Amino acid sequence: EPGVLRHIEHSAGVLIQMERPSAGRGVGGVPLAISCKTEKGAFFVADLGDVVKKHLRFLKALPRVRPFYAVKCNGSKGVVRTLAELGAGFDCASKTEIALVQSIGVPSDKIIYTNPCKQISQIKYAASHGVQLMAFDNEVELGKVARSHPHARMVLCIATDNPRSSARLSVKFGATLKSCRRLLETAKEMNVEIVGISFHVGSGCIDLQAFTRSIADARLVFEMGAELGYKMHLLDIGGGFPGTENSKVRFEEIAATINSALDLYFPEGCGVEILAKPGRYYVASAFTLAVNVIDKQEVPLDPPGSDGRLSRWNDASSCGAEPPILYYVNDGIYGSFSCIFFDHTCPSPILHKKPGPEPPLFSSSLWGPSCDGQDRIADGLQLPDLQVGDWLTFENMGAYTIAASSSFNGYQQPQINYAMSRGSCHNQKKRIERACVLLSPVAGKSQIPCALPLSSLPLESREQHPS
Ligand code: PLP
């Protein structure tokens, strides 16, 4: 019914508040009411306590670095509000992301507009909304900024050498060291202020030395700038930090490498402020996705080529497995599992309903709900016999999942149910509980009341945080 969208009865009978980023309107603007009792929609549980813990861990491991959360990674309001409340800054890639963080009261000096190639209207938007810190890596961008944002404080984004990152950014962005002098000279001629240097080693970086090399390169460009009369005072070391414990490199190892490189090339007291733009680090492990089996099909083991089904079975087993059971679930690669394509992940399911001891296992594959043969989530799985209505959960689903999902075939993004795990710092927990939307721990007892809007609470400075 109209008006009930934000209060939907959970199948267990618990009232929880949900965020439906893109959902809610049916044909002709009539709100869609979805009952979890009957619909069993896929949903996320987002543990904001995990986000809080990550923040404290960041401050402890990188004491000289101010984190600016990369909103592109996951712009759900609970995450953004939590980080705003903790005093983090924000890395925005577009006008919409700037509007999102400003709508919850983040001041413009805590925003960096990092897209090096911006549409002129969006540069003007940043100018009119007080966002001054912006990135660039080419001359055309400098010209646009000179004309549209005279008060901009620009950060020159340099390319990095990062073949061991899961998503390489320098194939698209970043000035080469050779072109930096010319860019700095052009900026002088155009009267554009350059305040610092940035880089991004690529998302999912497992090469510790990529950070050291990039920090050393940044030092060279600082010196180049000094020769041209610049007094740069900002180094942005980007993102690329792991977001889960199963990463090949631990966050603390990367942090130790960064700290050593900073001590060498930008020692304390050198007058350069350091910031970073972590994305996946903050959110990957906080989000768990639950999907529901909506259909099932057993593929007959006929000889190859005997009918169309078998060729599909062969296709599904292209990775070497033979999946005689196909399960269809209600989220897929055009939704939250877009990370399979865009982030090169291999999500693996956990059964919600525990099977009996030593159940027979069947070779199985998982497929999304769309009418597209590419919508395959996983294959080569060994699963017990599942039924329509059974739940599967996927952990570590916070980074580049919802953010890159679409409504292809008319499917909506799963609802996000916020929870606050125990163990996060008590004071922080209370503040976040007050600031965020109504949260209900799915497995916990307490119902956390919705209270103050974020704008009524002061944003804290990092000095006030125990690290
Ligand atoms: N900053 C910029 C400019 C980016 O393009 C990205 C990711 O693509 C990030 C920060 C966040 O990176 P990560 O999620 O690897 O920390």
Domains and CATH numbers, the chain: 75-278 (3.20.20.10), 286-416 (2.40.37.10)
| CA-CA-CA-CA torsion sign (419, 424, 429, 432) | negative
Name the closest-CA residue to atom 7, ligand 1: 203
Helix (H, G, I), strand (E, B) or coil at 414: coil
Say how many C-beta atoms besides its own lie within 10 A of residue 358's C-beta. 7
Nearest to 403 by CA among 338, 456, 349: 338
Nearest to 450 by CA among 119, 83, 74, 17: 17
Q: Which two tokens stand for residue 96?
A: 């919409």
Cite the active site residues: 371
Regarding the beta carbon of 112 and ligand 1, being less than 6 Å apart is answered no
Q: What does each C-alpha distance from 324 to 77, 297, 372 come to in angstroms?
A: 41, 8, 19
Nearest to 438 by CA among 16, 13, 5, 3: 16
82-91 residue pLDDT tens: 999 999 999 9
Helix (H, G, I), strand (E, B) or coil at 400: coil
Regarding the beta carbon of 400 and ligand 1, being less than 6 Å apart is answered no
CA–CA dist 175, 378 (Å, integer): 38
CA–CA dist 282, 54 (Å, integer): 6
Regarding the beta carbon of 169 and ligand 1, being less than 6 Å apart is answered yes
Atom of ligand 1 nearest to the CA of 167: 8
Q: What does each C-alpha distance from 200 to 177, 257, 334, 352 come to in angstroms?
A: 14, 15, 27, 38
464 DSSP assignment: G
User: Can you list the positions of beta strands (E) in 168-222?
Assistant: 193-198, 203-205
Regarding the beta carbon of 97 and ligand 1, being less than 6 Å apart is answered no
Nearest to 55 by CA among 82, 78, 75: 82
**What is the 114 CA–ligand 1 centroid distance (Å)?**
9
45-77 residue pLDDT tens: 999 999 999 999 999 999 999 999 999 999 999
Nearest to 50 by CA among 402, 337, 404, 288: 288
User: What is the helix (H) or strand (E) element at residue 89, kind and residue range?
Assistant: strand 89-92
**pLDDT for res 173:** 83
Torsion angle, CA of 25/29/35/38, rounded to 10 degrees?
-100
**pLDDT for res 377:** 96
* Cβ partners under 8 Å of residue 62, min gap 6: 255, 258, 259, 276
In this structure, are residues 273 and 66 in contact, taking their beta carbons and an 8 Å threshold? Answer: yes
* Separate counts of helices (H) and strands (E) for the chain: 13, 20
* Cβ partners under 8 Å of residue 263, min gap 6: none
User: Can you list the positions of beta strands (E) in 262-356?
Assistant: 273-276, 287-298, 325-329, 350-351
| CA-CA-CA-CA torsion sign (259, 263, 264, 270) | positive
CA–CA dist 303, 313 (Å, integer): 11
Regarding the beta carbon of 137 and ligand 1, being less than 6 Å apart is answered no
CA–CA dist 1, 321 (Å, integer): 45
Low-confidence ranges of the chain (pLDDT < 50): 1-37, 308, 310-311, 313-321, 437-467
**What is the 285 CA–ligand 1 centroid distance (Å)?**
16
Torsion angle, CA of 403/405/406/409, rounded to 10 degrees?
-160
**pLDDT for res 8:** 28
Q: Which two tokens stand for residue 25?
A: 């309107």
Regarding the beta carbon of 218 and ligand 1, being less than 6 Å apart is answered no
User: What is the helix (H) or strand (E) element at residue 316, kind and residue range?
Assistant: helix 308-316
Q: What does each C-alpha distance from 61 to 66, 212, 421 come to in angstroms?
A: 11, 16, 22
**pLDDT for res 453:** 32
* Cβ partners under 8 Å of residue 127, min gap 6: 148, 149, 150, 151, 152
ipTM higher than threshold 0.95? yes
Atom of ligand 1 nearest to the CA of 241: 16
Residue 151's DSSP bridge partners are none
**pLDDT for res 221:** 98
**What is the 118 CA–ligand 1 centroid distance (Å)?**
16
CA–CA dist 27, 21 (Å, integer): 17
> Beta strand 362-367 with 287-298: parallel, antiparallel or unpaired?
unpaired
Name the closest-CA residue to atom 14, ligand 1: 279
**What is the 239 CA–ligand 1 centroid distance (Å)?**
5
**What is the 341 CA–ligand 1 centroid distance (Å)?**
17
Regarding the beta carbon of 74 and ligand 1, being less than 6 Å apart is answered no
Atom of ligand 1 nearest to the CA of 202: 15
Region at 40 (left for phi over 0; alpha for psi -120 to 50; beta for the rest):
left
